[in-house]
């Protein structure tokens, strides 16, 4: 059956149970700057932007970021408060390929149900829109980002050596991806993990998402993907 290119993502919100992805706008800047200020600055280690010392500096970056459609930036809003951002980027409808990246999650968002759901919402939109391939790329030194990709059920595809230069430093880029044939299993894993019944009265998970996605991740390279790089934060140009 011939492939029909999917639509490009629109500047429209994506609603979940624990968070809402809103098209990033100038009004989000004060709350995001305040949320990011709780970090010690290391969340920006692998990012091409940041850290930002002032609200005006962050607002200037945001103004430029929202002026383009690729990357298409979203604010991650929890209980009405913006706590982080992410984007859909390298959008290629003709190939059916799309990537999630520019993941900037504040300390208040990290390791939360909302953070996981934010990634799920981008996966869900992409595959339901008709994309064939969903990518995640990160600095090969960013262990946290590499582990997160595997937890989310994306398969490791290798490292592109000396792929680019970020903030004056070499970047080897680790590639991860999920394809449309894996989406039904991924959707079931995320929905099982996000279900309220998967958490006890203290909010602790009963079953880890990594256990639910273990059978989806390409087994031959999963161990290699989670080894060798230096410790880091999730934030990255992925």
3-state secondary structure 77-133: EECCEEEEEEEEEEEECCCCEEEEEEEEECCCCCCCHHHHHHHHHHHHHHHHHCCCE
Q: What is the mean pLDDT of residues 24-46?
A: 96
pTM of the model: 0.92
Question: How far, CA to CA in Å, does 85 sit from each of 19, 73, 148, 204?
Answer: 12, 7, 16, 25
How do residues 67-93 score in pLDDT, each as one tens digit?
Answer: 999 999 999 999 999 999 999 999 999
pLDDT tens across 94-123, in order? 999 999 999 999 999 999 999 999 999 999
Between the CA of residue 207 and those of 43, 106, 193, 222, what are the distances in Å?
A: 27, 24, 7, 20
Residues 6+ apart with CB under 8 A from 130: 4, 5, 6, 7, 96
pLDDT score of 41: 87
The stretch 201-227 carries a mean pLDDT of 79
pLDDT given for residue 237 in this prediction: 45
From 69, 38, 189, 46, select the one nearest 117 (Cα to Cα).
189
pLDDT, tens only, 134-162: 999 999 999 999 999 999 999 999 999 99
Show me where the domains of the chain are located.
14-225
Is domain 14-225 given the CATH code 3.40.630.30 in the classification?
Answer: yes
């Amino acid at each position: 059956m011939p492939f029909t290119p999917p639509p490009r993502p629109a500047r429209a919100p994506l609603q979940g149970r624990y968070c809402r992805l809103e098209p990033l706008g100038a009004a989000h800047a004060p709350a995001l700057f305040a949320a990011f200020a709780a970090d010690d600055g290391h969340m920006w280690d692998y990012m091409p932007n940041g850290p930002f010392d002032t609200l005006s500096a962050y607002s200037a970056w945001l103004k430029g970021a929202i002026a383009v459609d690729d990357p298409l930036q979203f604010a991650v809003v929890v209980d009405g408060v913006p706590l982080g951002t992410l984007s859909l980027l390298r959008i290629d409808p003709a190939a059916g390929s799309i990537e999630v990246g520019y993941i900037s999650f504040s300390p208040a968002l990290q390791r939360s149900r909302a953070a996981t759901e934010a990634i799920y919402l981008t996966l869900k939109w992409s595959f339901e829109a008709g994309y064939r391939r969903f990518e995640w790329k990160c600095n090969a030194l960013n262990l946290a980002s590499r582990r997160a990709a595997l937890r989310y059920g994306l398969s490791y595809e290798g490292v592109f050596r000396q792929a680019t230069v970020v903030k004056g430093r070499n970047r080897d880029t680790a590639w991860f991806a999920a394809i449309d044939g894996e989406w039904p299993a991924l959707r079931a894993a995320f929905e099982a993990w996000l279900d309220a019944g998967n958490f006890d009265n203290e909010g602790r998970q009963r079953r880890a998402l990594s256990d639910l996605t273990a059978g989806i991740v390409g087994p031959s390279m999963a161990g290699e993907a989670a080894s060798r790089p230096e410790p880091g934060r999730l934030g990255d140009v992925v």
